Structure 1
Amino acid sequence: LFQGPLISLVPNNFLSPFPHIFNHNFLFFLFFIRFFDNRLFLICFGFILQVYLVLTAQLMVTFGFVAVFTFVDQVKGFVIRNTWTYFLSYGIFFVSVCVISCCGNVRRRHPWNLVALSILTLSMSYMVGVIASFHNTESVIIAVGITAVVCFSVIIFSMQTKYDFTSCYGVLFVCLIVLFIFSILCIIFQNMILNIVYAGLGALLFTVFLAVDTQLLLGNKELSLSPEEYVFAALNLYTDIINIFLYILAIIGRARE
């Protein structure tokens, strides 16, 4: 659905004499700065904790919507009959994304940043709930489980891998454009195999995006996010996870047809 623009990135020049050490392991990076610079440790740890607390709240709201739209038949029937509400929520989502991405004063100023993020989360949650309501309950449950395993594994891998995924951000955006063109072909040809391939590629691409955005958050690679961009960091991780869920749900739904 969305992958935010690359903003507020800075080269990570901290402890530049030791890049070969700290690019390998985030936990070792935190352990070192805990003794080297306690103030920097508190900033890094506080930033990461703040982002994951916001992300957890977003995911709880979204999958709460998914649960209601999946298990409550009256709600499922309403959204299936009134698909115009989906397009309304998409419009709200698009406006809130533009505000957060383009208006730095809003994105960094409390409480307006949280207000904008809350509006975005509610609109996205409604859209995801509507999409889930068109699938059977078993497919939704399986998709949630697979998404949880994939995302947890990617986050752990991103924390300890030697490879710097942040250097691939430009390539990934090119892949995102190619995926968008592929989606247009899927709409034109309406082929089940083509749709499954598209969903598989989408899930793979946003899995890599999740690895990149995780490393941008952790800050021990070539690029990192500024600590004041906790709303933007949470937004990136949130949209990565939701896109992974939707693509996995699409694969399962198509495979069961």
Structure 2
Amino acid sequence: MSKPSAPPPYEDRNPLYPGAPPPGGYGQPSAPPAGYPAYPAYPQPGYGHPAGYPQPMPPIHPMPMNFGPGYDGERAVSDSFGPGEWDDRKVRHTFIRKVYTIISVQLLVTVGIIAIFTFVRPVSEFVRRNVAVYYASYAVFMATYLTLACCQGPRRRFPWNIILLAIFTLAMGFMTGTISSMHNTKAVIIAMIITAVVSISVTIFCFQTKVDFTSCTGLFCVLGIVMMVTGIVTAIVLAFKYVYWLHMLYAALGAICFTLFLAYDTQLVLGNRKHTISPEDYITGALQIYTDIIYIFTFVLQLVGDRN
């Protein structure tokens, strides 16, 4: 069999792919026969799109969220937090340790301030004579609390979150120390012991119980509104005439309500419930639990304490 002296030409077809277009590409189609409409010109691919349609966007792949065991599809977490290289259990344990470390430092600072205001006579006499200092610390407390509670930027940005939390702790400690200086030392110590027992008991209960306080968010909102309205009414009444039983009733109601708030906030930090705090918001967890403990102490102090 004789072999061809030269390969076949490639001007009009590819011998491996007979249907492939020639190297120069196809031109516009020739004129149609008489009686048929003209063919429209085809746009080149990748250059524009038909009028009236927006430029197509690349598909966005949702990030899978790993919420750990017990998730029921309704957990409230931060959208910007994903599992990454850590599983949810390890992240949650690290978050809990960080929150309770911050709370421990806050409580140590507060106890130290209370001790100074209680045992150092010149300091207690100074804050009693200068009530304006207490209201100044209250203004600082409210400003820092609202900033940390409502503004995500300062709350998550280091070191501003730590600085604001330190200012908040000092202001709260000063207020608590001022209140403690108006009661005798024995009542302050008893109130501290009761608060510590209640706080530890609530924390252990939240670790062990299957009751989900976070599923009753609406109830706790109503409870907070009741506390606020009752406090305003009590303050107005006591400003005109001191009524002992009304004061004690409000103090008892406040101690019970903030004990429930402590259980609610503790479960938000622990996780594995219907609602939980994002591991990025450790400042929020520490802020809420610390505030609950301090308010429990002040209300218990009003119940058990006699003014000096």
TM bucket by the smaller chain? 0.7 to 0.9
The structure that is helix-richer by fraction is 1
Cα offsets for 1:213-257 (capped at 9, x unmatched): 111001011111000000010000000000000000011126x89
Aligned to 1:71: 119
Cα offsets for 1:187-231 (capped at 9, x unmatched): 315311111111111100110111111110010111110000000
Task: Say which SS state the counterpart of residue 66 (structure 1) adopts.
Answer: helix
User: Which of 80, 85, 89 is the aligned partner of 1:41?
Assistant: 89
After superposition, the CA RMSD in angstroms is 2.0
Number of aligned residue pairs: 228
Instruction: Identify which of structures 1 and 2 has the higher relative contact order when contacts are C-alpha pairs closer than 8 Å and 6+ apart.
Output: 1
Identical-pair percentage: 46
Tell me which moved more, 204-213 or 94-103: 94-103
Q: Shift of the alpha carbon at 1:16?
A: 4.7
Aligned to 1:15: 69
Is 1:58 matched up with 2:106? yes
Q: Residues of 1 paired with 2:128 and 2:66: CA distance?
A: 48
Q: Residues of 2 paired with 1:55 and 1:102: CA distance?
A: 20
What amino acid maps onto 2:294 in structure 1? I
Aligned to 1:173: 221
Cα offsets for 1:41-62 (capped at 9, x unmatched): 3211110000000000001111
Is 1:204 matched up with 2:252? no
Is 1:102 matched up with 2:150? yes
Computing the radius of gyration from Cα coordinates, the structure with the larger value is 2
Q: Shift of the alpha carbon at 1:183?
A: 2.0
Q: Is the 8 Å Cα contact of residues 12 and 220 (structure 1) preserved in structure 2?
A: no
In structure 1, stretches of 5+ residues that fail to align are: 1-10, 20-36
Cα offsets for 1:85-119 (capped at 9, x unmatched): 00001111111112111210110011110001001
Aligned to 2:77: none
What amino acid maps onto 1:15 in structure 2? P
Q: Is the 8 Å Cα contact of residues 12 and 219 (structure 1) preserved in structure 2?
A: no
Aligned to 1:83: 131
User: Which of 239, 262, 270 is the aligned partner of 1:218?
Assistant: 270
Q: Residues of 1 paired with 2:253 and 2:261: CA distance?
A: 12
Aligned to 2:183: 135
Task: Say which SS state the counterpart of residue 256 (structure 2) adopts.
Answer: helix
What amino acid maps onto 1:220 in structure 2? N
Provide closer, same or farther for how the CA distance between residues 222 and 233 of structure 1 changes in structure 2, counting only shifts above 3 A.
same
Q: Residues of 2 paired with 1:250 and 1:103: CA distance?
A: 33
TM-score normalised by L of structure 1 = 0.84
The runs of at least 4 aligned residues of structure 1 exceeding 6 Å deviation read none
